[in-house]
C-alpha cells in the first residue's frame, strides 16, 4: 500500500486567483456553452473559436475558465495551441476538465487523445502548465461511480500525483463530487492524499433541484466541515445550464441568487470560488420544449426529484390563494387541467397524490399512479370540473389550495405535476393561468417537494448569462480587480 501522508493537502494554493475563482465551464449535454467556428477546418472538425470565446468570457467577467476536453477530438490541441496563449493575454487562468471512464465513449465523446490513460493525462497537463503558466489546475469529473473507482485506486492515484508533481508541484488537481459523496468520510479519506480539492455541484443539498438556492451556504458549511480538516479546498459549481436529472431548469433569478450566495461565501473564506456551469454563450433562444404550459407561457409545477434514496410520507408542496365566494351565486365550481410527467417510472399505487383543498379540507384527490398519461386532462378523466358548492356556500372568504403530497414513502422517481387553465364559477381567481408569479402563495414541507410557477421565457439563456456577468462583475469590483 502506498504512503498516504495526512499532510498531503496542507499546502499553499497558488492556482486560486486573488479574490477567488470566478469561472465558467462547458459540460456534458449542456446547450450552447461552447463557442465553435461556423465552418469545419481542413481536418473536418469545427474547432473552438478562440477569439470569440475569449470575448464572451471577458463579457462574463471570469478570471478562470474550465476548458472541457470531451466534445471533439480537437479540444486538447485547440486548448494547447490556441486557447491557452490567448487566455494568458486576456488574464484568464485555465483548468482543463476531463471526463472519467464512465463518461468515455471510444466511438463518441471522450477526453482525447489519451482517453482513460490518466497517467498520460497527468504528464500532458503538467507539461502544458509549464509552457503556459496560466494553466494553474486541472480536474476530472465524478470519481464516485463504481466503474471509475475501479481505475482510480490508491496505487493509480499515487502514480498520477507523482507524475504531476515531478513536473509542476504547484499545479492543482480537483474532482467533482455531489452532496452525499462530499459528506462521505470513506470517500474523502480514500482520495484526500491525491487531490487538492473538490468541486461541489449545488443541487439544494440532497433535494436534487435547480429551483431553490436558499440552502447554498448551509450546504457549503456542511461540506466544509468535512473538507477543511482534511486540508481539501472547496469550489462551488452552480448550474447556469440544465442538470439532466432536474425536473425544471434554472431560471435567471435562481442563478443570480445561487452565484451571489457562493460569491459571499468566497468573500467570507468559506470556499475558494464559484463556477457557473453550462452558461449559454451562443445567444440561442430557450429550447421550445421547455414551455410545458397548456396555454400561454405559464403553469403551476409541483415536483419531486429523482436520484434520491427516499422521500418520506408527509412531504408536500402546494400553491394557494384566498378567494371570496359571491354570495349571490347559486353554485360554486372549479375547472382545472393537469398533467403528470415521470422518470424513469410512475410512483407506486398510493404513494403520491394530487389534492384540491378548501380551508385545509381535501375536496378532490387523485392518485398519480392511476393516470400516468403525459396529457392535459380536466379533473379526473371521466369527471371534469369539481363542484365546490358544499364547501363554499355561506362563506365570505376561503383558502383554495392545490397540493402534491407523498402519502407513502417513495423512491427514485422524478415527478412533475402541472396545473393550468383554471376556470371558476361563483368566485374569482387571481392569475388562473399562472402567467404571473404574484397571484399564488407557494409553500412546501421543507424537503424534496417543490412548488414553482413555471413561466417560459424565450430568451432565458441570455438572461442567465447577463445575471452571471453581473454577479461576477460586482465581485471583481469589490475585489478591486
Same domain, 202 and 172: yes
Is 92 inside any structural domain?
A: yes
- What's the pLDDT at 480? 67
Query: Which residues are CB-contacts of 306 (< 8 A; sequence separation ≥ 6)?
Result: 208, 245, 343, 344, 412, 413, 414
Residues 150 and 259 in one domain: yes
CATH code of residue 240 = 3.20.20.80
Task: For residues 147 and 144, give the distance between their C-alpha atoms in angstroms, rounded to a whole number.
Answer: 9
Are 466 and 446 in the same domain? no
- Find where cell 463518461 sits: 103
Flag whether 293 is in a domain.
no
Residue 15 lies in a domain: no
- 332 is a domain residue: yes
The CATH number assigned to the domain holding 307 equals 2.60.120
How far apart, in whole angstroms, are the C-alpha atoms of residue 469 and residue 461? 12
75 phi, psi to nearest 5 deg: -60, -45
Examine residue 113 and say whether the peptide bond preceding it is cis (omega within 30 degrees of 0). Answer: yes
User: pLDDT below 50 — which residues of the chain?
Assistant: 1-8
The pLDDT assigned to 440 comes to 98
Grouping H, G, I as helix, E, B as strand and the rest as coil, residue 89 is helix
Q: Are residues 219 and 263 in the same domain?
A: yes
* Angle (deg, nearest 10), helices 216-227 and 252-267: 40
CB of 421 closer than 8 Å to CB of 342? no
Alpha helix positions (H), 5-74: 50-60
Residue 97 maps to a domain: yes
Task: Examine residue 311 and state whether it is found in any structural domain, yes or no.
Answer: yes
Residue 481: the pLDDT is: 56
165 and 66 in a single domain? The answer is yes
Provide the domain count of the chain.
Answer: 2
Residues 142 and 261 in one domain: yes
388 shares a domain with 270: no
Residue 463 and residue 447 share a domain = no
Same domain, 73 and 98: yes
pLDDT at position 2: 40
Shared domain for 449 and 464, answered yes or no, is no
Same domain? 235 vs 282: yes
Cα–Cα nearest to 274, from 14, 10, 60: 60
**φ, ψ (nearest 5 deg) of residue 98:** -105, 165
pLDDT at res. 9: 62
Closest CA to 201 of 226, 176, 232, 173: 176
- Tell me if 39 is assigned to some domain: yes
Task: Give which of 140, 145, 169 is closest to 157, Cα–Cα.
Answer: 140
Residue 317 belongs to domain spanning: 298-455
6: in domain = no
Do residues 98 and 124 share a domain?
yes
What is the structure's pLDDT at 5?
38
Amino acid at each position: 500500500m502506498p504512503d498516504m501522508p495526512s499532510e498531503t493537502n496542507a499546502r499553499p494554493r497558488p492556482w486560486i486567483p486573488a479574490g477567488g475563482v470566478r469561472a465558467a465551464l462547458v459540460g456534458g449535454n449542456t446547450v450552447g456553452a461552447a463557442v465553435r467556428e461556423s465552418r469545419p477546418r481542413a481536418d473536418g472538425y469545427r474547432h473552438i473559436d478562440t477569439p470569440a470565446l475569449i470575448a464572451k468570457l471577458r463579457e462574463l467577467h471570469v478570471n478562470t475558465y474550465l476548458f472541457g476536453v470531451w466534445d471533439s477530438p480537437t479540444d486538447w490541441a485547440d486548448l494547447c495551441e490556441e486557447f491557452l496563449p490567448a487566455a494568458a493575454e486576456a488574464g484568464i487562468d485555465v483548468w482543463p476538465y476531463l471526463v472519467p471512464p464512465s463518461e468515455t465513449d471510444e466511438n463518441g465523446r471522450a477526453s482525447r487523445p489519451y482517453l482513460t490513460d490518466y497517467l498520460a493525462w497527468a504528464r500532458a497537463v503538467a507539461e502544458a502548465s509549464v509552457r503556459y503558466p496560466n494553466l494553474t489546475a486541472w480536474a476530472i469529473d465524478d470519481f464516485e461511480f463504481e466503474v471509475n473507482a475501479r481505475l482510480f485506486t490508491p496505487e493509480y492515484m499515487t502514480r498520477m500525483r507523482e507524475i504531476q508533481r515531478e513536473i509542476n508541484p504547484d499545479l492543482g488537481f480537483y474532482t467533482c463530487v455531489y452532496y452525499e459523496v462530499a459528506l462521505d468520510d470513506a470517500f474523502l479519506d480514500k482520495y484526500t492524499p491525491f487531490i487538492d480539492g473538490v468541486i461541489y455541484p449545488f443541487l439544494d443539498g440532497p433535494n436534487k433541484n435547480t429551483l431553490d438556492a436558499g440552502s447554498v451556504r448551509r450546504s457549503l458549511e456542511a461540506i466544509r466541515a468535512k473538507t477543511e480538516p482534511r486540508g481539501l479546498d472547496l469550489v462551488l459549481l452552480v448550474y447556469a445550464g440544465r442538470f439532466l436529472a432536474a425536473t425544471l431548469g434554472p431560471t435567471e433569478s435562481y442563478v443570480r441568487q445561487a452565484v451571489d450566495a457562493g460569491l459571499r461565501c468566497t468573500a467570507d473564506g468559506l470556499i475558494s470560488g464559484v463556477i457557473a456551469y453550462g452558461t449559454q454563450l451562443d445567444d440561442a433562444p430557450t429550447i421550445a420544449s421547455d414551455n410545458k404550459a397548456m396555454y400561454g407561457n405559464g403553469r403551476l409545477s409541483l415536483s419531486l426529484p429523482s436520484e434520491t434514496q427516499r422521500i418520506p410520507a408527509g412531504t408536500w408542496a402546494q400553491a394557494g390563494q384566498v378567494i371570496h365566494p359571491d354570495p349571490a351565486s347559486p353554485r360554486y365550481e372549479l375547472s382545472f387541467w393537469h398533467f403528470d410527467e415521470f422518470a424513469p417510472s410512475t410512483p407506486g399505487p398510493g404513494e403520491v397524490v394530487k389534492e384540491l383543498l378548501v380551508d385545509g379540507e381535501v375536496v378532490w384527490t387523485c392518485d398519480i399512479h392511476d393516470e400516468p398519461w403525459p396529457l392535459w386532462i380536466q379533473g379526473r378523466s371521466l369527471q371534469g370540473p369539481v363542484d365546490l358548492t358544499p364547501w363554499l356556500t355561506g362563506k365570505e372568504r376561503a383558502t383554495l389550495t392545490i397540493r402534491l403530497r407523498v402519502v407513502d414513502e417513495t423512491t427514485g422517481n422524478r415527478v412533475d405535476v402541472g396545473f393550468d387553465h383554471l376556470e371558476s364559477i361563483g368566485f374569482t381567481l387571481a392569475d388562473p393561468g399562472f402567467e404571473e408569479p404574484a397571484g399564488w402563495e407557494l409553500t412546501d414541507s421543507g424537503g424534496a417537494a417543490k412548488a414553482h410557477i413555471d413561466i417560459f421565457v424565450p430568451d432565458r439563456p441570455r438572461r442567465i448569462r447577463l445575471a452571471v456577468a453581473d454577479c461576477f462583475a460586482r465581485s471583481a469590483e469589490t475585489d478591486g480587480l
